Amino acid sequence: MEFLQFLSWACIVFTVGMFSTGLTDLKKMRASKSADNVQFLPFLTTCLNNLGWLYYGILKTDGTLVLVNTIGACLQSLYIFSYCHYTNDKRRVTSQTLLAGGVVCGGWLYFSVVLPQGESQLAQLGLTCSLFTISMYLSPLADLMEMVRTGSVERLSYSLTVATFLTSTSWTLYGLQLQDYYIMVPNTPGIVTSLIRFFLFWRFASVNQGVPSYKLIEI
């Protein structure tokens, strides 16, 4: 029980720390009064992911999931509203945000109204959240392959890699302790991709010694 409590706090601290990396982009936007060179979709997809896991945590009555994803959803909403304020392409950003809002509403209706309450509802929601999380962890693979081809880690954030590794490991162990494979399995790819990133840093560090390391363009 004490180990589970430790893992719970580890999940909270590491995950909130990872979500807070977006504050760097927020600071850049406020300083330049522009959203240029800041990616919007990661904010939007992370917010969707947070809302899905928040609902799963509510149904499962898991306080750790509820707390972490409430904070995450609030931070991502802040980043989204800030991006909308500073971007010049407001039509595209607004349409993407409205589409995401439609997905949230449709998902809520399906899981709350169409599906009967109980194990089936929780299982389908857990599976949906798991698949979405896995897709987010695997999405940078194309960029990682490009880094292998070019031999440069200039676009890779070391601090975010460490945060992702600690967060993924904490949630994997937390899910294992709860015997909840919907939590454990989707975080395993996060560990794998983080280890790949660590290898790339080790492999190409000497190649990039003359280049300012770890730019703020994070993947």
Distance from chain centroid for Cα 218: 12
Residue with tokens 């302790």: 177
Q: What are 12's two structure tokens?
A: 């909270």
Q: Do 22 and 41 contact (CB within 8 A), yes or no?
A: no
Once rounded to an integer, what is the mean pLDDT over residues 202-207? 71
- The pLDDT tens digits of the residues spanning 49-83 come to 999 999 999 999 999 999 999 999 999 999 999 99
Please tell me the pTM assigned to this model. Answer: 0.86
Burial class, 151, CB count within 10 angstroms (exposed 0-12 / middle 13-18 / buried 19+) = exposed
Q: What are 108's two structure tokens?
A: 């809520």
> What is the distance between the alpha carbons of residues 54 and 98, in angstroms, rounded to a whole number?
20
> What is the distance between the alpha carbons of residues 166 and 164, in angstroms, rounded to a whole number?
6
Task: Band the pLDDT of 6: cuts 50, 70, 90.
Answer: very high
